[in-house]
Amino acid sequence: MNKSDCIFCKIAAGKIKTEKIADTDNFIVINDANPIAEGHCLIISKNHYENVLDLPTTLGIELLDLTKKQSARLIKEHKAEGINLVQNNFKAAGQIVKHYHLHIIPRKMGDNVKLG
């Protein structure tokens, strides 16, 4: 995929307008366009990395910190009882958009949310 055709590159660059929930040096957080639970959001890298294997290790602390902050926000705002972190790598694992992104899905007991 050419980076100029990548929807997440366009979102990160502001070429496609969307509400940013959070914005750090290397990542943005947006609501998922097709949420499977209320509050389902995505952490997207600002630079184009196809998957976790391409993501520089040096971004790990920033990514973990942002993941923890957004997870805590979802637990509070949506009264979630749990959180799923979903990150698919390569087509065989269900990756559709070839740009690093992490799903944060707030969960409640008996919510009937199906993953996969």
Within-domain flag for 15: yes
- Pair 55, 100: CB distance under 8 Å: yes
Say if residue 32's pLDDT is above 80: yes
Please report, for the domain that includes residue 45, its CATH number: 3.30.428.10
Of these residues, 48, 78, 99, 101, which one is catalytic? 101
Q: How many helices (H) and strands (E) does the chain have?
A: 2, 5
**pLDDT in the model for residue 115:** 86
Alpha-helical regions (H) of the chain? 7-12, 60-78
Phi and psi for 4 in degrees, rounded to 5?
A: -70, -20
**pLDDT in the model for residue 2:** 59
Within-domain flag for 112: no
**pLDDT in the model for residue 4:** 77
d(CA 25, CA 40): 22
When the pLDDT of each residue in the chain is averaged and rounded to a whole number, the result is 95
Within-domain flag for 49: yes
Within-domain flag for 22: yes
* Total of domains in the chain: 1
Can you give the residue range of the structural domain that contains 53? 3-107
Q: What does DSSP assign to residue 98?
A: S
Establish whether 99 is a catalytic residue.
no
- pTM confidence score: 0.94
